[in-house]
Amino acid sequence: IYSLDERPLGLAPLPGAAFNVPVRIDILHRVVRYWRAKWQQGTHKAKSRAEVSGGGKKPWNQKKTGRARQGSIRSPLWKGGGVSHAPRPRSHAHALPRSTRLLGMRCALSAKINEGRFFVVDDL
């Protein structure tokens, strides 16, 4: 236990069920991926060919021009056209069982203690 001015005040007993768990890298990886995906904003968006303005009329006739057939000037092949398979706003979060998340927290606390980077502050 430390004071706010970083003076050691003594030792505190810690429960072994939470602080003496074998560190499992696979569980830590799953929990970190879960939280980072949950925090990801997911507001990316681009317009598809249906959302780009214009392009209602066929640019030229289907036959007898010698040019390639085209149906709209807003096709993804054209400059100023829509984006094919455009990104859509969505949530990136995925499910992770509560027991796995708690095990991840216990593994993280145990790893901190094993590295000597876990400190308890007496009073704020």
pLDDT digits (tens, 9 = 90+) for 34-93: 999 999 999 999 999 999 999 899 999 999 999 999 999 999 999 999 999 999 999 999
Contact of 47 with 83, CB cutoff 8 Å = yes
Whether residue 2 is predicted with pLDDT greater than 80 in this model: the reply is yes
Tokens of 83: 């984006």
What count of other Cβ atoms lies within 10 Å of the Cβ of residue 107? Answer: 19
Question: Per DSSP, what are the bridge partners of residue 2?
Answer: 8, 121
pLDDT digits (tens, 9 = 90+) for 30-44: 999 999 999 999 999
Supply the pTM of this predicted model.
Answer: 0.76
